[in-house]
Chain A
Amino acid sequence: MNRGFYLSLMVLIVSVVSVLVYGYRYDSRQIDDSLATVATMVHGVVPALEVAYIEPDAMELFGSSVRANPIYPEMPQINRMGFVYAK
Protein backbone atom coordinates (compact mmCIF):
# COMPACT_ATOMS: atom_id res chain seq x y z
CA MET A 1 0.00 0.00 0.00
CA ASN A 2 2.88 2.32 0.81
CA ARG A 3 4.57 1.56 -2.50
CA GLY A 4 2.34 4.09 -4.29
CA PHE A 5 3.23 6.73 -1.75
CA TYR A 6 6.97 6.13 -2.11
CA LEU A 7 6.63 6.09 -5.90
CA SER A 8 4.86 9.46 -5.87
CA LEU A 9 7.54 10.76 -3.51
CA MET A 10 10.26 9.62 -5.91
CA VAL A 11 8.54 11.30 -8.86
CA LEU A 12 8.31 14.50 -6.85
CA ILE A 13 11.99 14.36 -5.89
CA VAL A 14 13.04 13.66 -9.48
CA SER A 15 11.00 16.61 -10.76
CA VAL A 16 12.52 18.94 -8.15
CA VAL A 17 16.02 17.74 -9.08
CA SER A 18 15.30 18.30 -12.77
CA VAL A 19 14.07 21.83 -12.02
CA LEU A 20 17.25 22.53 -10.07
CA VAL A 21 19.46 21.10 -12.82
CA TYR A 22 17.60 23.12 -15.47
CA GLY A 23 17.97 26.32 -13.45
CA TYR A 24 21.64 25.65 -12.75
CA ARG A 25 22.52 24.84 -16.36
CA TYR A 26 20.48 27.63 -17.93
CA ASP A 27 22.79 30.05 -19.67
CA SER A 28 21.37 33.54 -19.29
CA ARG A 29 24.53 35.28 -20.53
CA GLN A 30 23.18 35.81 -24.03
CA ILE A 31 20.05 37.51 -22.70
CA ASP A 32 21.99 39.59 -20.17
CA ASP A 33 24.53 40.60 -22.82
CA SER A 34 21.98 41.70 -25.39
CA LEU A 35 20.02 43.65 -22.76
CA ALA A 36 23.21 45.36 -21.61
CA THR A 37 24.20 46.13 -25.21
CA VAL A 38 20.85 47.75 -26.00
CA ALA A 39 21.00 49.72 -22.75
CA THR A 40 24.55 50.87 -23.55
CA MET A 41 23.62 51.90 -27.08
CA VAL A 42 20.62 54.01 -26.08
CA HIS A 43 22.18 55.21 -22.80
CA GLY A 44 19.31 54.12 -20.66
CA VAL A 45 17.05 51.30 -19.55
CA VAL A 46 13.53 51.74 -20.82
CA PRO A 47 11.53 48.54 -20.40
CA ALA A 48 9.26 47.71 -23.29
CA LEU A 49 6.23 47.32 -21.08
CA GLU A 50 3.18 48.07 -23.10
CA VAL A 51 1.16 47.94 -19.91
CA ALA A 52 2.76 51.20 -18.82
CA TYR A 53 1.22 53.05 -21.77
CA ILE A 54 -2.10 53.06 -23.51
CA GLU A 55 -3.37 49.58 -24.06
CA PRO A 56 -7.09 49.55 -24.68
CA ASP A 57 -7.06 45.98 -25.94
CA ALA A 58 -5.08 44.56 -23.07
CA MET A 59 -5.65 41.01 -21.96
CA GLU A 60 -6.37 39.58 -25.32
CA LEU A 61 -6.24 36.01 -24.20
CA PHE A 62 -4.90 33.37 -26.57
CA GLY A 63 -4.36 36.13 -29.15
CA SER A 64 -8.03 35.86 -30.02
CA SER A 65 -8.37 39.29 -31.53
CA VAL A 66 -5.70 39.92 -34.11
CA ARG A 67 -6.06 43.48 -35.30
CA ALA A 68 -4.08 43.07 -38.50
CA ASN A 69 -6.12 42.44 -41.59
CA PRO A 70 -4.43 39.64 -43.54
CA ILE A 71 -6.30 40.36 -46.80
CA TYR A 72 -6.02 44.10 -47.06
CA PRO A 73 -3.29 45.90 -45.15
CA GLU A 74 -4.37 48.55 -42.71
CA MET A 75 -2.61 51.74 -43.58
CA PRO A 76 -1.49 53.84 -40.66
CA GLN A 77 -4.34 56.17 -39.90
CA ILE A 78 -3.70 59.85 -39.85
CA ASN A 79 -4.67 61.70 -36.78
CA ARG A 80 -4.23 65.44 -36.34
CA MET A 81 -2.18 65.66 -39.54
CA GLY A 82 -5.10 64.42 -41.60
CA PHE A 83 -5.50 67.77 -43.27
CA VAL A 84 -2.04 67.50 -44.76
CA TYR A 85 -2.88 64.16 -46.27
CA ALA A 86 -6.13 65.56 -47.64
CA LYS A 87 -4.20 68.20 -49.52
Chain B
Amino acid sequence: MRSSLFWDFLLLSFVKERKKHIGVIFISVVILFLLDSTLFVSSSIKHSLLGALKAQPDFIVQRVHAGERIDMPLEWADKIMDIHGVSSITPRVYGRYFFEPKHAPVLIMGVDFLDEQSHRALAKLISKTDLKSFLSSDQMIVGDGVMQYLKSHFYSDAYNFLTPKGKFKKVKIAEVLPQSSSLLSNTMIIMPIDLAREVLGMDEETVSDIALNVPNDDEWENISDKISALYYDLRIVSKEEVQKGYENLYNYKGGYFLILFLITLATFALILYQRYSTLYSAERRHIGLLRAMGWKISDLLKFKLYETLIVIIIAFVLAFVLSYGFVFGLGAPLIRQIFLGGGEIVNAAPLVPVVDGSVLSTLFLLYAVPFVAAVLIPVWRISVTDPKEAML
Protein backbone atom coordinates (compact mmCIF):
# COMPACT_ATOMS: atom_id res chain seq x y z
CA MET B 1 0.00 0.00 0.00
CA ARG B 2 1.29 3.46 -0.89
CA SER B 3 2.45 5.38 2.11
CA SER B 4 0.47 8.58 1.47
CA LEU B 5 -2.74 6.63 0.93
CA PHE B 6 -2.11 4.74 4.14
CA TRP B 7 -1.68 7.98 6.11
CA ASP B 8 -4.74 9.57 4.48
CA PHE B 9 -6.81 6.55 5.38
CA LEU B 10 -5.38 6.48 8.90
CA LEU B 11 -6.21 10.14 9.52
CA LEU B 12 -9.68 9.81 7.99
CA SER B 13 -10.39 6.79 10.15
CA PHE B 14 -8.99 8.58 13.22
CA VAL B 15 -11.11 11.66 12.70
CA LYS B 16 -14.18 9.58 11.87
CA GLU B 17 -13.89 7.67 15.14
CA ARG B 18 -12.91 10.71 17.14
CA LYS B 19 -15.60 10.22 19.79
CA LYS B 20 -14.13 6.87 20.76
CA HIS B 21 -10.60 8.28 20.82
CA ILE B 22 -11.55 11.39 22.78
CA GLY B 23 -12.98 9.18 25.53
CA VAL B 24 -9.78 7.16 25.79
CA ILE B 25 -7.64 10.32 25.62
CA PHE B 26 -9.67 11.92 28.39
CA ILE B 27 -9.22 8.99 30.79
CA SER B 28 -5.51 8.79 29.95
CA VAL B 29 -5.01 12.53 30.45
CA VAL B 30 -6.65 12.41 33.89
CA ILE B 31 -4.42 9.54 35.04
CA LEU B 32 -1.24 10.98 33.55
CA PHE B 33 -2.02 14.49 34.75
CA LEU B 34 -2.23 13.37 38.36
CA LEU B 35 0.95 11.38 38.15
CA ASP B 36 2.89 14.03 36.20
CA SER B 37 1.87 16.71 38.69
CA THR B 38 3.00 14.62 41.64
CA LEU B 39 6.30 13.80 40.00
CA PHE B 40 6.91 17.43 39.00
CA VAL B 41 6.36 18.63 42.57
CA SER B 42 8.57 15.94 44.05
CA SER B 43 11.38 16.44 41.51
CA SER B 44 11.25 20.22 41.95
CA ILE B 45 11.53 20.00 45.75
CA LYS B 46 14.23 17.36 45.48
CA HIS B 47 16.18 19.51 43.03
CA SER B 48 16.04 22.56 45.32
CA LEU B 49 16.97 20.59 48.42
CA LEU B 50 19.86 18.80 46.77
CA GLY B 51 21.11 22.16 45.44
CA ALA B 52 21.00 23.64 48.95
CA LEU B 53 22.81 20.61 50.35
CA LYS B 54 26.05 22.00 48.93
CA ALA B 55 26.06 24.33 51.94
CA GLN B 56 25.55 21.44 54.36
CA PRO B 57 28.58 20.74 56.59
CA ASP B 58 30.39 17.48 55.90
CA PHE B 59 29.52 16.00 59.30
CA ILE B 60 27.08 16.62 62.11
CA VAL B 61 28.10 15.17 65.44
CA GLN B 62 25.26 14.49 67.87
CA ARG B 63 25.02 13.03 71.32
CA VAL B 64 22.48 10.25 71.58
CA HIS B 65 20.60 8.89 74.54
CA ALA B 66 18.08 6.05 74.12
CA GLY B 67 18.19 6.63 70.39
CA GLU B 68 17.23 10.29 70.69
CA ARG B 69 19.46 13.31 70.19
CA ILE B 70 20.26 15.15 73.37
CA ASP B 71 22.24 18.32 74.04
CA MET B 72 25.97 18.01 74.39
CA PRO B 73 28.68 19.97 76.24
CA LEU B 74 30.28 22.76 74.27
CA GLU B 75 33.75 21.64 75.34
CA TRP B 76 33.41 18.54 73.15
CA ALA B 77 33.85 20.86 70.20
CA ASP B 78 37.38 21.62 71.36
CA LYS B 79 38.23 17.92 71.56
CA ILE B 80 36.93 17.39 68.03
CA MET B 81 38.85 20.45 66.85
CA ASP B 82 42.07 18.81 68.05
CA ILE B 83 41.67 16.02 65.49
CA HIS B 84 44.00 16.67 62.60
CA GLY B 85 42.15 17.33 59.35
CA VAL B 86 39.02 18.85 60.87
CA SER B 87 38.18 22.43 59.94
CA SER B 88 35.49 25.02 60.63
CA ILE B 89 33.73 23.57 63.63
CA THR B 90 30.37 25.16 64.37
CA PRO B 91 28.39 24.36 67.50
CA ARG B 92 24.69 24.57 66.65
CA VAL B 93 21.82 25.49 68.91
CA TYR B 94 18.32 24.72 67.74
CA GLY B 95 15.05 23.30 68.88
CA ARG B 96 11.36 23.16 68.15
CA TYR B 97 8.95 25.62 69.66
CA PHE B 98 5.21 25.09 69.54
CA PHE B 99 3.11 28.21 69.31
CA GLU B 100 0.23 26.14 70.61
CA PRO B 101 0.44 22.80 72.42
CA LYS B 102 1.04 20.14 69.76
CA HIS B 103 0.34 22.71 67.08
CA ALA B 104 2.23 25.04 64.79
CA PRO B 105 5.80 23.85 65.37
CA VAL B 106 8.59 26.20 64.36
CA LEU B 107 12.29 25.62 64.29
CA ILE B 108 14.35 28.03 66.35
CA MET B 109 17.88 28.27 65.04
CA GLY B 110 20.51 30.00 67.12
CA VAL B 111 23.21 31.47 64.95
CA ASP B 112 26.57 32.75 66.08
CA PHE B 113 26.76 35.90 64.00
CA LEU B 114 30.38 36.43 65.00
CA ASP B 115 31.13 33.49 62.75
CA GLU B 116 32.28 35.03 59.48
CA GLN B 117 30.30 32.70 57.22
CA SER B 118 27.02 33.28 59.09
CA HIS B 119 27.64 37.02 59.32
CA ARG B 120 28.19 37.29 55.59
CA ALA B 121 25.08 35.24 54.86
CA LEU B 122 23.05 37.43 57.18
CA ALA B 123 24.33 40.59 55.53
CA LYS B 124 23.41 39.15 52.15
CA LEU B 125 19.90 38.25 53.26
CA ILE B 126 18.98 41.39 55.12
CA SER B 127 20.99 44.10 53.47
CA LYS B 128 18.42 46.76 54.38
CA THR B 129 18.41 46.06 58.09
CA ASP B 130 20.87 47.65 60.49
CA LEU B 131 22.99 44.72 61.58
CA LYS B 132 24.34 46.54 64.63
CA SER B 133 20.92 47.18 66.10
CA PHE B 134 19.86 43.66 65.19
CA LEU B 135 22.73 42.13 67.12
CA SER B 136 22.54 44.52 70.07
CA SER B 137 18.93 43.83 71.08
CA ASP B 138 16.61 40.81 71.26
CA GLN B 139 15.54 40.46 67.67
CA MET B 140 14.80 37.62 65.33
CA ILE B 141 14.44 36.88 61.65
CA VAL B 142 11.42 34.81 60.79
CA GLY B 143 10.42 32.73 57.81
CA ASP B 144 7.56 33.78 55.58
CA GLY B 145 5.16 31.17 56.96
CA VAL B 146 5.97 32.08 60.57
CA MET B 147 5.35 35.75 59.80
CA GLN B 148 1.96 34.99 58.27
CA TYR B 149 1.05 32.88 61.28
CA LEU B 150 2.14 35.55 63.77
CA LYS B 151 0.34 38.27 61.83
CA SER B 152 -2.85 36.26 61.85
CA HIS B 153 -2.49 36.11 65.64
CA PHE B 154 -1.80 39.85 65.88
CA TYR B 155 1.90 39.55 66.62
CA SER B 156 3.17 41.68 63.79
CA ASP B 157 6.10 43.35 65.59
CA ALA B 158 7.21 41.04 68.34
CA TYR B 159 6.38 37.74 70.03
CA ASN B 160 6.48 36.73 73.68
CA PHE B 161 8.18 33.36 73.91
CA LEU B 162 7.44 31.29 76.96
CA THR B 163 10.76 29.83 78.06
CA PRO B 164 11.02 26.51 79.91
CA LYS B 165 12.00 28.51 83.00
CA GLY B 166 8.51 29.96 83.02
CA LYS B 167 9.41 33.45 81.93
CA PHE B 168 8.18 35.36 78.95
CA LYS B 169 10.81 36.61 76.59
CA LYS B 170 9.79 39.32 74.19
CA VAL B 171 11.64 39.15 70.89
CA LYS B 172 11.19 41.71 68.16
CA ILE B 173 10.75 40.71 64.55
CA ALA B 174 13.62 42.33 62.68
CA GLU B 175 13.13 40.90 59.23
CA VAL B 176 11.22 38.33 57.23
CA LEU B 177 13.19 35.84 55.16
CA PRO B 178 12.39 35.97 51.45
CA GLN B 179 9.65 33.71 50.16
CA SER B 180 12.13 32.24 47.70
CA SER B 181 13.85 30.50 50.62
CA SER B 182 10.61 29.17 52.10
CA LEU B 183 11.47 25.58 51.32
CA LEU B 184 13.98 25.80 54.17
CA SER B 185 12.94 28.85 56.13
CA ASN B 186 9.16 28.78 56.14
CA THR B 187 8.88 27.50 59.71
CA MET B 188 12.24 28.84 60.81
CA ILE B 189 13.10 31.52 63.35
CA ILE B 190 16.70 32.69 63.31
CA MET B 191 18.04 34.50 66.35
CA PRO B 192 21.41 35.12 67.98
CA ILE B 193 22.75 31.97 69.63
CA ASP B 194 22.53 33.25 73.22
CA LEU B 195 18.94 34.37 72.77
CA ALA B 196 18.07 30.97 71.26
CA ARG B 197 19.61 29.28 74.32
CA GLU B 198 17.44 31.41 76.57
CA VAL B 199 14.25 30.70 74.64
CA LEU B 200 14.99 26.98 74.42
CA GLY B 201 16.11 26.74 78.01
CA MET B 202 19.67 25.64 77.37
CA ASP B 203 22.62 26.71 79.47
CA GLU B 204 25.62 28.52 78.06
CA GLU B 205 27.90 25.50 78.05
CA THR B 206 25.51 23.33 76.05
CA VAL B 207 24.88 22.98 72.34
CA SER B 208 22.42 20.93 70.31
CA ASP B 209 25.07 19.40 68.06
CA ILE B 210 28.31 20.21 66.31
CA ALA B 211 28.79 20.74 62.58
CA LEU B 212 32.21 20.34 61.06
CA ASN B 213 33.96 20.17 57.74
CA VAL B 214 36.74 17.91 56.55
CA PRO B 215 38.25 19.44 53.42
CA ASN B 216 39.99 16.26 52.31
CA ASP B 217 37.36 13.78 51.09
CA ASP B 218 39.74 10.84 51.49
CA GLU B 219 39.95 11.56 55.20
CA TRP B 220 36.20 11.41 55.79
CA GLU B 221 36.03 7.83 56.95
CA ASN B 222 39.14 8.13 59.06
CA ILE B 223 37.98 11.31 60.79
CA SER B 224 34.54 9.82 61.36
CA ASP B 225 36.16 6.85 63.14
CA LYS B 226 38.34 9.15 65.23
CA ILE B 227 35.36 11.24 66.36
CA SER B 228 33.38 8.07 67.21
CA ALA B 229 36.27 6.92 69.36
CA LEU B 230 36.16 10.12 71.45
CA TYR B 231 32.89 9.37 73.26
CA TYR B 232 30.73 6.25 73.36
CA ASP B 233 27.38 8.02 72.81
CA LEU B 234 28.04 9.91 69.60
CA ARG B 235 26.17 9.72 66.35
CA ILE B 236 27.89 11.06 63.28
CA VAL B 237 25.70 12.05 60.36
CA SER B 238 27.53 12.61 57.12
CA LYS B 239 26.45 14.88 54.31
CA GLU B 240 25.94 11.83 52.08
CA GLU B 241 23.54 10.31 54.60
CA VAL B 242 21.50 13.51 54.70
CA GLN B 243 21.42 13.53 50.91
CA LYS B 244 20.27 9.91 50.77
CA GLY B 245 17.65 10.68 53.40
CA TYR B 246 16.13 13.46 51.31
CA GLU B 247 16.28 11.37 48.16
CA ASN B 248 14.53 8.50 49.91
CA LEU B 249 11.89 10.79 51.34
CA TYR B 250 10.80 11.83 47.89
CA ASN B 251 11.45 8.50 46.26
CA TYR B 252 9.14 7.04 48.84
CA LYS B 253 6.53 9.61 48.01
CA GLY B 254 7.13 9.29 44.29
CA GLY B 255 7.12 5.51 44.66
CA TYR B 256 3.94 5.59 46.67
CA PHE B 257 2.19 7.41 43.86
CA LEU B 258 3.84 5.17 41.31
CA ILE B 259 2.23 2.16 42.98
CA LEU B 260 -1.14 3.89 42.86
CA PHE B 261 -0.49 4.72 39.25
CA LEU B 262 0.39 1.12 38.42
CA ILE B 263 -2.87 -0.06 39.95
CA THR B 264 -4.80 2.55 37.99
CA LEU B 265 -2.88 1.73 34.84
CA ALA B 266 -3.50 -2.00 35.23
CA THR B 267 -7.22 -1.28 35.62
CA PHE B 268 -7.09 1.00 32.61
CA ALA B 269 -5.29 -1.66 30.55
CA LEU B 270 -7.84 -4.27 31.61
CA ILE B 271 -10.70 -1.99 30.57
CA LEU B 272 -9.02 -1.43 27.22
CA TYR B 273 -8.32 -5.13 26.78
CA GLN B 274 -11.88 -5.97 27.64
CA ARG B 275 -13.04 -3.28 25.25
CA TYR B 276 -10.96 -4.52 22.34
CA SER B 277 -11.24 -8.25 23.03
CA THR B 278 -15.00 -8.00 22.66
CA LEU B 279 -14.73 -5.72 19.68
CA TYR B 280 -17.89 -4.25 18.40
CA SER B 281 -19.36 -6.21 15.55
CA ALA B 282 -18.89 -3.11 13.39
CA GLU B 283 -15.22 -3.03 14.17
CA ARG B 284 -14.81 -6.75 13.61
CA ARG B 285 -16.54 -6.29 10.30
CA HIS B 286 -14.23 -3.40 9.53
CA ILE B 287 -11.17 -5.54 10.14
CA GLY B 288 -12.68 -8.41 8.15
CA LEU B 289 -13.50 -6.04 5.32
CA LEU B 290 -9.99 -4.68 5.18
CA ARG B 291 -8.62 -8.23 5.17
CA ALA B 292 -11.03 -9.19 2.37
CA MET B 293 -9.85 -6.17 0.39
CA GLY B 294 -6.35 -7.53 0.51
CA TRP B 295 -4.85 -5.91 3.56
CA LYS B 296 -2.13 -8.01 5.09
CA ILE B 297 -2.13 -8.81 8.79
CA SER B 298 1.02 -6.69 9.15
CA ASP B 299 -0.77 -3.75 7.44
CA LEU B 300 -3.68 -4.07 9.85
CA LEU B 301 -1.42 -4.25 12.86
CA LYS B 302 0.56 -1.29 11.53
CA PHE B 303 -2.68 0.62 11.04
CA LYS B 304 -3.87 -0.05 14.58
CA LEU B 305 -0.43 0.56 16.02
CA TYR B 306 -0.19 4.01 14.47
CA GLU B 307 -3.73 4.82 15.49
CA THR B 308 -2.94 3.84 19.07
CA LEU B 309 0.36 5.73 19.04
CA ILE B 310 -1.44 8.91 17.97
CA VAL B 311 -3.82 8.50 20.91
CA ILE B 312 -0.94 7.80 23.31
CA ILE B 313 1.17 10.73 22.16
CA ILE B 314 -1.73 13.20 22.22
CA ALA B 315 -2.75 12.06 25.73
CA PHE B 316 0.81 12.07 27.04
CA VAL B 317 1.71 15.49 25.64
CA LEU B 318 -1.60 17.01 26.72
CA ALA B 319 -1.19 15.66 30.26
CA PHE B 320 2.41 16.91 30.33
CA VAL B 321 1.46 20.44 29.27
CA LEU B 322 -1.53 20.62 31.62
CA SER B 323 0.35 19.31 34.64
CA TYR B 324 3.33 21.57 33.90
CA GLY B 325 1.05 24.58 33.89
CA PHE B 326 -0.77 23.32 36.99
CA VAL B 327 2.43 22.77 38.98
CA PHE B 328 4.76 25.51 37.82
CA GLY B 329 2.18 28.04 36.67
CA LEU B 330 -0.48 27.71 39.35
CA GLY B 331 1.83 26.40 42.07
CA ALA B 332 0.20 22.96 42.33
CA PRO B 333 -2.69 23.74 44.68
CA LEU B 334 -3.79 20.68 46.72
CA ILE B 335 -0.87 18.51 45.67
CA ARG B 336 1.78 20.76 47.23
CA GLN B 337 0.13 20.27 50.63
CA ILE B 338 0.84 16.56 50.41
CA PHE B 339 4.53 17.31 50.13
CA LEU B 340 4.98 20.51 52.09
CA GLY B 341 2.18 20.39 54.60
CA GLY B 342 0.61 23.73 55.33
CA GLY B 343 -2.29 22.93 57.61
CA GLU B 344 -1.15 25.41 60.22
CA ILE B 345 1.79 27.30 58.80
CA VAL B 346 1.19 27.73 55.12
CA ASN B 347 4.20 27.11 52.92
CA ALA B 348 4.25 29.22 49.77
CA ALA B 349 7.66 28.08 48.57
CA PRO B 350 8.04 28.62 44.83
CA LEU B 351 8.53 25.49 42.77
CA VAL B 352 11.45 25.60 40.36
CA PRO B 353 10.49 24.07 37.00
CA VAL B 354 12.37 20.80 36.84
CA VAL B 355 11.50 17.98 34.49
CA ASP B 356 13.21 14.68 35.11
CA GLY B 357 13.63 13.12 31.67
CA SER B 358 14.26 9.63 32.98
CA VAL B 359 11.08 9.67 35.06
CA LEU B 360 9.07 10.97 32.12
CA SER B 361 10.42 8.33 29.74
CA THR B 362 9.74 5.57 32.29
CA LEU B 363 6.25 6.90 32.70
CA PHE B 364 5.77 6.93 28.93
CA LEU B 365 6.88 3.31 28.65
CA LEU B 366 4.71 2.24 31.59
CA TYR B 367 1.76 3.88 29.94
CA ALA B 368 2.40 3.11 26.29
CA VAL B 369 3.41 -0.57 26.40
CA PRO B 370 0.30 -1.96 28.16
CA PHE B 371 -1.89 0.33 26.07
CA VAL B 372 -0.41 -0.89 22.78
CA ALA B 373 -0.58 -4.50 23.96
CA ALA B 374 -4.20 -4.10 25.06
CA VAL B 375 -5.13 -2.85 21.60
CA LEU B 376 -2.95 -4.95 19.31
CA ILE B 377 -3.49 -8.41 20.81
CA PRO B 378 -7.29 -8.49 20.23
CA VAL B 379 -6.86 -6.92 16.77
CA TRP B 380 -4.29 -9.56 15.87
CA ARG B 381 -6.59 -12.32 17.13
CA ILE B 382 -9.37 -11.13 14.84
CA SER B 383 -7.19 -10.44 11.85
CA VAL B 384 -5.75 -13.99 11.82
CA THR B 385 -9.26 -15.45 11.54
CA ASP B 386 -10.95 -15.91 8.22
CA PRO B 387 -12.36 -12.57 6.93
CA LYS B 388 -15.77 -14.20 6.37
CA GLU B 389 -15.93 -15.26 10.01
CA ALA B 390 -14.77 -11.87 11.18
CA MET B 391 -17.50 -10.14 9.20
CA LEU B 392 -20.28 -12.33 10.62
CB within 8 Å of B: which residues of A? 1-2, 4-5, 8, 12, 15-16, 19, 22-23, 26, 28, 30-32, 34-63, 66-68, 70, 73-79, 81, 84
| Contact residues in A for B51 (Cβ distance below 8 Å) | 32, 35-36
A25, closest chain B residue (CB):
B353
**Contact: B100 with A43, CB < 8 Å?**
no
Instruction: Report the count of interface residues on B (CB-CB < 8 A).
Output: 88
Q: CB < 8 Å: which of B96, B103, B321, B342 contacts A56?
A: B103
Nearest-CB distance from B351 to chain A (Å)? 9
**Contact: B337 with A59, CB < 8 Å?**
yes
CB within 8 Å of A: which residues of B? 11-12, 14-16, 45, 48-49, 51-57, 60, 90, 92, 94, 96, 98-103, 105, 107, 109, 111, 117-118, 120-122, 124-125, 143, 145, 149, 152-154, 160, 162, 164, 166, 177-178, 180-188, 190, 211, 242, 246, 314, 317-318, 320-321, 324-325, 328, 333-334, 337-347, 349-350, 352-353, 355
**Contact: B124 with A19, CB < 8 Å?**
no
**Contact: A58 with B341, CB < 8 Å?**
yes
A43-B92, A81-B164 given as contacts; is B187 within 8 A of A50 (CB)? yes
How far, in whole Å, are A23 and B184 apart by their CA atoms in the complex? 23
| Contact residues in B for A55 (Cβ distance below 8 Å) | 341, 343-344
**Contact: A42 with B109, CB < 8 Å?**
yes
**Contact: A51 with B145, CB < 8 Å?**
no
| Contact residues in A for B12 (Cβ distance below 8 Å) | 1-2
**Contact: B344 with A36, CB < 8 Å?**
no
Q: Which 7 A-B pairs have the closest CB atoms?
A: A50-B341, A84-B166, A39-B55, A68-B152, A48-B186, A41-B121, A34-B181
